[in-house]
């Protein structure tokens, strides 16, 4: 899918040239599952990512991952290297199967995005606000004290496993960012733009939504290559 290409390119341009850590997906690296109803109190928390008023960016994008395999990338300190609340961004790029693009449905994107809410690694408590494009994570003290401390690699592999359960997913690259020099404000703005593109895809599925003069999505359609074509294709026009 090309709709998100420009946003993905701009996000990558904000990151350091090379990741601190890169790991291909392996099932044995997945984190131990936790209780989805568990509450992690502040006294049991080592630190909070996106906490204390610091940025916490979350975005799911659809496009080419640029890799030949599912992978986890980390820019900045890993979980065991952090000691206090920090700015945080979590980007997940999902490459759809080639034969799915002609029959793209909003439900596909919605199902894939919903998988983030099914991620419950033990000692890693996630709170996501899709409307604001924000993500906060509390990391348990106990998760960092064990023989093999919890890592972003463990969390990322767990998410990849969840996403690969969706039949339309071909490849996944999930990126965790704690690097202090990154412009999180710019990442947040791009995350909101990606959400607008997903909403525009949803709009194309609505019957009768073909009057460009009165459509609230027109400015976005004019800017994003392929969005207008998708709109009219779904509307039954050539």
Q: Which tens digits make up the pLDDT trace of 156-192?
A: 999 999 999 998 899 999 999 999 999 999 999 999 9
CATH 3.30.1650.10: does it fit domain 5-184? Answer: yes
In the structure, what pLDDT confidence band is assigned to residue 237 with cuts at 50, 70 and 90? Answer: very low
Q: What is the pLDDT of residue 142?
A: 96
Which is higher by pLDDT, 58 or 201? 58
Query: Taking 90 as the threshold, does the pLDDT of residue 17 lie above it?
Result: yes
Tell me the domain boundaries of the chain.
Answer: 5-184
pLDDT tens-place string over residues 122-134: 999 999 887 778 9
Cα 54 to Cα 69, 165, 230: the distances in Å are: 32, 33, 37
Query: Taking 80 as the threshold, does the pLDDT of residue 136 lie above it?
Result: yes
Which is higher by pLDDT, 5 or 225? 5
For the chain, give the mean pLDDT.
Answer: 86
Kindly give, in sequence order, each residue whose CB lies less than 8 Å from that of residue 24, ignoring residues fewer than 6 positions away.
69, 70, 71
In the structure, what pLDDT confidence band is assigned to residue 105 with cuts at 50, 70 and 90? Answer: low
Q: In degrees to the nearest 10, what's the CA dihedral of 198, 200, 201, 206? A: 140
pLDDT tens-place string over residues 198-236: 887 766 665 555 566 656 656 666 666 556 565 555 555
Query: Taking 90 as the threshold, does the pLDDT of residue 155 lie above it?
Result: yes
Distance, C-alpha 30 to centroid of its chain: 17
Q: What is the pLDDT of residue 238?
A: 42
Query: Taking 80 as the threshold, does the pLDDT of residue 147 lie above it?
Result: yes
């Amino acid at each position: 899918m090309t709709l998100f290409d420009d946003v993905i390119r701009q996000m990558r341009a904000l990151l350091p040239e090379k990741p601190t850590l890169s790991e291909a997906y392996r099932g044995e690296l997945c984190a131990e599952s936790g209780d989805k109803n568990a509450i992690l109190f502040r006294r049991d928390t080592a630190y909070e990512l996106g906490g204390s008023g610091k940025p916490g960016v979350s975005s799911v994008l659809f496009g080419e991952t640029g890799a030949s395999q599912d992978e986890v990338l980390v820019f900045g300190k890993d979980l065991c290297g952090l000691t206090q609340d920090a700015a945080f961004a979590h980007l997940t790029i999902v490459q759809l199967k080639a034969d799915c693009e002609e029959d793209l449905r909003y439900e596909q994107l919605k199902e894939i995005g919903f998988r983030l809410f099914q991620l419950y690694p033990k000692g890693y408590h996630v709170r996501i606000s899709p409307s604001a494009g924000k993500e906060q994570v509390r990391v348990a003290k106990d998760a960092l004290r064990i023989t093999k401390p919890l890592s972003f690699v463990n969390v990322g592999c767990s998410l990849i496993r969840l996403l690969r359960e969706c039949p339309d997913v071909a490849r996944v690259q999930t990126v965790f960012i704690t690097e202090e020099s990154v412009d999180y404000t710019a990442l947040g703005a791009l995350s909101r733009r990606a959400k607008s593109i997903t909403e525009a895809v949803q709009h194309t599925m609505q019957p009768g939504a073909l009057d460009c003069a009165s459509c609230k999505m027109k400015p976005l359609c004019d800017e994003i290559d392929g969005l207008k074509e998708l709109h009219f294709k779904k509307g039954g026009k050539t």
